[in-house]
Chains A and B, each alone.
Chain A
Amino acid sequence: MIPRGVSWLQQGMAWATATLLAFGLWLVFTAPPDFQQGVTVRIMYVHVPSAKMSLLIYLLLTLVSLLFLWKGYDWADRLSEAATPVGAAFAAVTLVTGSIWGKPMWGAWWAWDARLTSMLVLLVLYVGLIALRSAFDDARRGARSTAVMVLVGAVDLPIIHYSVQWWRTLHQPASFNGPTSAIAAPLLWPLLVMSVAFLALACYMVLLKFRLVTVQRQLEEKLEQVEAS
C-alpha cells in the first residue's frame, strides 16, 4: 500500500492549502481595485500562481524523468505520471484566466503573442505526454518514451520565461520579481499569499494523484496474479 509518510504529507498539504487559500482569498477580495484594470486585477491572483505552478511542475517532470532514465527508479516514473495532469490543469487555467482577463483589457480573447503561444505549447506538451504514455501496451516502454519526450519539451521552459524579453509581446513583462516588484504592497501581498497557497495546492494534487497511480498499479498487479492463478 501507500507509505504512511505520503499519506501524512498529503493530509498536511490539504490543511495548508485550505488555510492559505482562505487567507489568500480574503486578502484578494479586500484588496483595492487597480487604478487602470479595476476589479479585473483579481484575475491575476489565480492566473499568475497557476502559470508559475505549471512551469514548476514541468521542471519537476524534467528532474524525475532524468532520474528515471538514469537510475530507473519506479517512484520517479509514478511521480512523472502523477504530476503530468496536474501541470496540464495549471496550464489550462493559466490560458483560460489569461483569456478572460484579455477580453476586457486588450479587447481580444486571444493574441498570437510569444508568451501566450509558448504557454499554449506547454499545454499541448502536457496533453501529448498523457496521450503518449497511454499509447503503449508495454508500460516500461511507455514510461521511457514519455521521459525522453519530457526532456525534449523542456526547451519550452526558457522560451516561456524569457519570451517577454526576447520578443516585443502584448503580454506585459514580469512585474513580480521578489524584492524588485513593480506592484504596490496592497496588491502584492495577496499575490504572495496566493502563490504560496497554489504551491501547497500543487503539492497536494501531485501527492493525491501519486497515491492514485500507485494504488492503480498495485491493483493491476494483483488482478494479473488473480487471473494467472
Chain B
Amino acid sequence: MTPPPPDLYQHYVWAAYGVALALYGGLILSWHWRCRHDERKLRQLSASDEEVAS
C-alpha cells in the first residue's frame, strides 16, 4: 500500500494539537489566575481580622 503524501493530512494534526493546547492551556491559566486572586483576597480578609483583633 502506498503511504499518503506527507502534507495531505497535516491540517488535521494541527487541529488536534490546537484543541488539546486550547483546552488544557485555557483551564490551567484560568485556574491559576483564579487561585492567585482568591488567595490574595483570603490573605486580605485574614489581615483585616488580625487588625480588628489587635
Contact = CB atoms under 8 A, between A and B. Distances in A.
Interface of A: 1, 33-40, 42-43, 46-47, 50, 85-86, 89, 92-93, 96-97, 100-101, 103-104, 201, 204-205, 208-209, 211-212, 215-216, 218-219, 222-223, 226
Contacts of A218: 42
The B interface is mostly helix, strand or loop, or mixed, namely helix
Contact of B3 (A35, A93, A226): A35
18 contacts: A36-B3, A38-B8, A38-B9, A40-B13, A42-B13, A42-B17, A89-B24, A97-B16, A100-B12, A100-B15, A104-B8, A208-B35, A211-B35, A215-B38, A219-B38, A219-B42, A222-B45, A222-B46
A43 B17 CA distance: 7
Contacts, number: 90
B38 to A, nearest CB: 5
Contacts of B19: 93, 96-97, 100
B32 A208 contact: yes
Interface residues of B, number: 29
B45 to A, nearest CB: 5
B10 interface: yes
Contacts of A85: 27
B5 A38 contact: yes
A47 B16 contact: yes
Contacts of B24: 89, 93, 201, 205
Given A92-B23, A100-B15, A100-B16, A222 B42 contact: yes
A42 B4 CA distance: 14
Contacts of A38: 3-6, 8-9
Contacts of A212: 31, 34-35, 38
A184 B7 CA distance: 22
B17 A46 contact: yes
Nearest to A226: B45
A215 B39 CA distance: 6
A76 B15 CA distance: 36
